[in-house]
Amino acid sequence: MSAVLRVHNLTKIYGSGETMVTALDDACLEVHPAELVAVVGPSGSGKTTLLTCVGCVKDPTSGFIEIDGEVVYDNGWKKVDLHRLRREKIGFVLQTFNLIPFLTTWENVFIAMDLVAKRDQRAKTKANELLDYLQVGHRLRNYPENLSGGEKQRVAIARALANDPRVILADEPTAQLDTERGKNVMELIRKLAREKNSAVIVVTHDRRMVEGFDRIYMLQDGKMINPDVHA
């Protein structure tokens, strides 16, 4: 099966002169459908920069990114409408959950479909099904402030899945959870990669959280090392 995500020689430089930081230095990465890939590195190694460039939130300085057969950047030049690509193909899961506090659990998922003009009964039912799938179906009418950290993250994952993205990008998704809840969230991420055929990248500083992943890349000072160590 061909890769759903291809990244070659991705470089991101912030600032210039004395404040210049090379946050990513020629990073290369490929992810296939249903594949679970981890990028592990200490704080400041470039993990968030990698995900924001791959997720079309930040422009890389140079390099090549292809998502689901579409060339997104070639030598740093933008090739497609990034808003559309983000909406259609990418689901983000963040360390801080980023749920909308004045919307219920169900509304937090439904809004992702509403934003792409999917508001029919099918979309409504799908929000219920996704929340059931993520084991928070009993919390539909609760607001985020009344959910535990693990529940919030599962709602955030349901939202990330709402538009069937080809690529799911998770930035330290368990960093704010205790070990057991973190493991439960990671287990669900593993399950959805297999069952929903999504390509998943999880970045984390915690090597223990990514046992059983298909591939683990190590990131250090913006450089990818050991790109092919099997978990």
Ligand X SMILES: Nc1ncnc2c1ncn2[C@@H]1O[C@H](COP(=O)(O)OP(=O)(O)O)[C@@H](O)[C@H]1O
Q: At its nearest, how many Å lie between ligand X and the CB of residue 204?
A: 9
Q: Burial, 203: exposed, middle or buried (Cβ in 10 Å; 0-12, 13-18, 19+)?
A: buried
Q: At its nearest, how many Å lie between ligand X and the CB of residue 231?
A: 20
Q: At its nearest, how many Å lie between Mg ion and the CB of residue 42?
A: 10
Question: What x/- string results for residues 39 through 58 when contact with Mg ion is judged by CB under 5 A?
Answer: --------xx----------
Neighbours of 43 (CB within 10 A): 8
27: tokens are 């990073």
Nearer to ligand X (CB atom), residue 128 or residue 220: 220
Q: At its nearest, how many Å lie between ligand X and the CB of residue 208?
A: 17
Nearer to ligand X (CB atom), residue 31 or residue 53: 53
The footprint of ligand X (CB under 6 A) covers: 14-15, 21, 23, 41, 43-49
Q: At its nearest, how many Å lie between Mg ion and the CB of residue 19?
A: 19
**45 touches, from Mg ion, ligand X, none (C-beta below 5 to 8 Å by class):** ligand X
- Residue 81, classed as helix, strand or coil, is coil
Nearer to ligand X (CB atom), residue 23 or residue 27: 23
Residue whose pair of structure tokens reads 């470039």 in the numeric block: 46
Whole-number Å distance between alpha carbons of 74 and 208: 35
Whole-number Å distance between alpha carbons of 13 and 21: 6
Nearer to ligand X (CB atom), residue 40 or residue 157: 40
Residues 6+ apart with CB under 8 A from 187: none
Inter-residue contact 30 to 7 (CB < 8 Å): yes
Number of residues that bind Mg ion (CB under 5 A): 2
Number of H helices, E strands in the chain: 6, 11
**14 touches, from ligand X, Mg ion, none (C-beta below 5 to 8 Å by class):** ligand X
Cα first-last separation, the chain = 21
Nearer to ligand X (CB atom), residue 43 or residue 121: 43
* Positions that interact with Mg ion (CB under 5 A): 47-48
